[in-house]
Amino acid sequence: MALLVQKYGGTSVGSVERIEAVAEKVAAHVKQGHRMVVVLSAMSGETNRLIAMAKQIQDPPDPRELDALVSTGEQVTIPLLCMALHKRGVKAKSYTGAQVRIVTDSAFNKARIQHIDHQNIMADLDQDTVVVVAGFQGVDEKGNITTLGRGGSDTTGVALAAALKADECQIFTDVDGVYTTDPRVCSKARRLDRITFEEMLEMASLGSKVLQIRSVEFAGKYNVPLRVLSSFADGPGTLITLEEEAHSMEQPVISGIAFTRDEAKLTIRGVPDVPGVASKVLCPVSDANIEVDVIVQNVSADGSTDITFTVQQGDMAKAAKILDQVARELGARQIVTDDKIAKVSVVGVGMRSHAGVASKMFQALARENINIQLITTSEIKISVVIEEKYLELAVRTLHDAFGLETR
């Protein structure tokens, strides 16, 4: 008998039929004697629909009101699942984030969970009642509804599992685990039995949205056993775990390939090559709350320098405006922007003890005539920025080059 937290994503609760199927699964676990907490997303497409509706009226929408609006998606699915469980003779109660008291800070649209009052949930579990919680939402100290950022129901699941000291947090989705890369882009992608928290965190941060970044951070910090599974088919899924457990046998050098199309590149040409110039260019950008990712500086023969950096695509216009101002102040020659780029990354803790990963990556891309525009590395990842149209080819090429299909 275990205490399980199961989270079902948007496609898994995308229709009444799907909700009935989730109820079957949950009821079967109850029958086996497990105590169950279920976290649900909104039906697939619903959060996007609500955001689009808000934008028709106010763009950008007021952050507090947007959270009040988008949190309704998850309020629809939780009572429906409870009804489907009642129908099957299973006791179940739904809770919004505020009803549980999932207390967050007041950063609307990207709030962080501060603590969870779990007495109510425990009392229900002791009464053999399945507790069904709305994902993605919380409440701040003043009683405002908040949300946790896109994909935030994963974090609700992990945070509840940590608070309740659950035996496992199971994330049910439309793929049967974490793959070596997004199976929608590379048909040879292979399901991993295990992956480390550290690798999963890099994969999620570099664009693999199968888990929200914060949920992996949370699971790593509180050592929550976390598993990704399919709600459509049975199987072992992928366990996200500590390094010793994940790679107890032979350690692969590369565990996976992540990618994102959501980047744009800005270059400021011909600024003076003197101390302090990088801060003069980049500080106003970060002061405007724009996250800067890859940064490269090139010095020309004439003593001037070019600085190139990437930001999220949605921030490109704002960043370009700031650079225009900086360019005037520094007497720069030119500003160039490009949003037709993509970033592809290879990730693996095995890189720490293996040389030659970068050269293998660059050679493989060169063989396909894919030009690398920018490069950035850390201890367990190498990322390259390339022209967007080559993204799928690059992912497949690297998947082959590192033998990920067969390992």
- Rounded to whole angstroms, how far apart are CA atoms 176 and 234? 8
CB of 8 to ligand ASP, least distance (A): 10
| Residue 220 contacts ligand ADP per CB under 6 A | no
Residue whose token pair is 């086996």: 32
Q: Which stretch binds ligand ASP (CB under 6 A): 149-157, 233-241, 290-298, 354-362?
A: 149-157
Q: Which of residues 65-94 bind ligand ASP (CB under 6 A)?
A: 73
Spatial CB neighbours of 29, under 8 Å, sequence gap ≥ 6: 4, 6, 36
* DSSP code for 178: -
Partner from ligand ASP, ligand ADP, Mg ion, none contacting 11, C-beta within 5 to 8 A by type: ligand ADP
CB of 204 to Mg ion, least distance (A): 10
- Rounded to whole angstroms, how far apart are CA atoms 230 and 346? 25
Strand pairing report for 145-147 and 137-139:
antiparallel
Q: Which stretch binds ligand ADP (CB under 6 A): 68-76, 97-105, 171-179, 292-300?
A: 171-179
Strand pairing report for 35-40 and 102-104:
unpaired
* DSSP code for 251: P
Task: Compute the Cα dihedral for 67, 69, 70, 72 and give only its sign.
Answer: positive
| Residue 175 contacts ligand ADP per CB under 6 A | yes
| Residue 179 contacts ligand ADP per CB under 6 A | yes
| Residue 136 contacts ligand ASP per CB under 6 A | yes
- Rounded to whole angstroms, how far apart are CA atoms 128 and 123? 9
- Rounded to whole angstroms, how far apart are CA atoms 351 and 131? 42
Strand partners, 269: 334
For ligand ASP, give the closer residue by CB, 129 or 153: 153
| Residue 215 contacts ligand ADP per CB under 6 A | no
| Residue 134 contacts ligand ASP per CB under 6 A | no
| Residue 151 contacts ligand ASP per CB under 6 A | yes
Q: From the list 184, 221, 333, 352, which residue makes contact with ligand ADP (rule: CB under 6 A)? A: 184
Phi, psi values for residue 377, rounded to 5°: -135, 160
Partner from ligand ASP, ligand ADP, Mg ion, none contacting 47, C-beta within 5 to 8 A by type: ligand ASP
* DSSP code for 9: -
Residue whose token pair is 């009226």: 57
Q: From the list 6, 71, 147, 181, which residue makes contact with ligand ADP (rule: CB under 6 A)? A: 181
For ligand ADP, give the closer residue by CB, 86 or 150: 150
Q: Identify whether the C-beta of residue 257 lies closer than 8 Å to the C-beta of residue 207.
A: no
| Residue 255 contacts ligand ADP per CB under 6 A | no
Q: From the list 73, 151, 237, 348, which residue makes contact with Mg ion (rule: CB under 5 A)? A: 151
| Residue 177 contacts Mg ion per CB under 5 A | no
Residues that bind Mg ion (CB under 5 A): 9, 151
Residues that bind ligand ASP (CB under 6 A): 9-10, 41-42, 47, 73, 135-136, 150-154
